[in-house]
């Protein structure tokens, strides 16, 4: 009985304190803008054409911080290079159910031995050199190669060649590929890299007349005898 009486007392209190106490202080209407209207107003004030032009200019003038530069070739030639790599730490593997050491830290190996397929050839040239760009456009456009530039605008050169062009960038890339000059074509030939170097003049032709270019490769011209017996 006492519990019921106490519960009834609490209920009566809730009814008493639920009365309207009136209004205290000033009351104002909400004057905040509609969020959707505010967003539309801000969107209409943005100059999208200006932003597009600024972004396009940044793309055209972009240059990577680790761009690799090469010398312009003075003589055409072909040489071979093995891109030796060094194991950075001990490499373990499982043989016959046991964990064994496969390679020690500091061991050297030829990564070309482990390629699952032959990669695409690389053509490396100076995108700022008009002669080299003209040479590449004449002899490599349509060939199965990837284009890398050591200088110039990738945007402009891509537009001129009509194909994607990338920067020759990355730490130790020059040493890893064995490339020293432009224009160079890098081809995987068995377990070696074949580097074909083209010495190009300002007009976009080979400097040495004893060579010719066929399908993007260098060939020595066969001299014909002036007199035949």
- The pLDDT, as a whole number, for residue 78 is 96
Please state the domain extents for the chain: 71-220
Higher pLDDT, 147 or 108: 147
Quickly list DSSP for the chain: -HHHHHHHHHHHHHHHTTS-----S------PPPHHHHHHHHHHTS-HHHHHHHHHHHHHT---TTBPP-EEPSS-EEEEE---EE-SS-EEEEETTEEEEEE-TT-EE-GGGG-SSPPPEEEEE-TT-HHHHHHHHHHTTTSSEEEEESSS-HHHHHHHHTS-EEE-BSTTHHHHHT--EESEEEEEETTEEEEEE--B-TTSSBS-TTEEEETTEEEEPPPPPSS--
- The pLDDT, as a whole number, for residue 16 is 47
Q: What are the tens digits of pLDDT across the range 59-98?
A: 777 778 889 999 999 999 999 999 998 888 888 888 888 8
Residue 202 has pLDDT above 90, yes or no: yes
Stretch 43-63: mean pLDDT? 72
Q: What is the pTM of this model?
A: 0.71
> Which residue shows structure tokens 């605008």?
153
Residue 139 has pLDDT above 80, yes or no: yes
Quickly list DSSP for 145-210: EEEEESSS-HHHHHHHHTS-EEE-BSTTHHHHHT--EESEEEEEETTEEEEEE--B-TTSSBS-TT
Residue 229 has pLDDT above 50, yes or no: no
At 121, is the pLDDT very low, low, confident or very high (cuts 50, 70, 90)? Answer: very high
Residue 17 has pLDDT above 50, yes or no: no
């Amino acid at each position: 009985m006492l519990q019921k009486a106490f519960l009834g007392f609490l209920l009566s209190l809730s009814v008493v304190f639920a009365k309207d106490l009136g209004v205290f202080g000033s009351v104002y209407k909400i004057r905040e803008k509609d969020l959707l209207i505010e967003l539309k107003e801000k969107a209409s004030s943005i100059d999208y054409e200006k932003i597009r032009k600024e972004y396009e200019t940044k793309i055209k003038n972009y240059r990577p911080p680790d761009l690799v530069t090469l010398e312009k070739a003075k003589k055409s030639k072909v040489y071979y290079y093995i891109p030796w790599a060094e194991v950075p730490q001990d490499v373990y593997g499982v043989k016959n159910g046991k964990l064994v050491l496969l390679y020690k830290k500091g061991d050297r190996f030829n990564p070309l031995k482990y390629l699952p397929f032959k990669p695409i050839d690389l053509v490396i040239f100076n995108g700022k050199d008009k002669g080299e760009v003209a040479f590449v456009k004449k002899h490599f456009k349509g060939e199965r190669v990837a284009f890398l530039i050591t200088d110039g605008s990738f945007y402009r050169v891509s537009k001129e060649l009509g194909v994607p062009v990338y920067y020759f960038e990355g730490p130790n890339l020059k040493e890893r590929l064995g490339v020293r000059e432009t224009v160079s074509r890098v081809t995987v030939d068995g377990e070696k890299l074949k580097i074909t170097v083209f010495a190009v003049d300002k007009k976009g032709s080979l400097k040495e007349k004893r060579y010719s270019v066929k399908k993007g490769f260098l060939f020595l011209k066969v001299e014909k005898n002036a007199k035949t017996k």
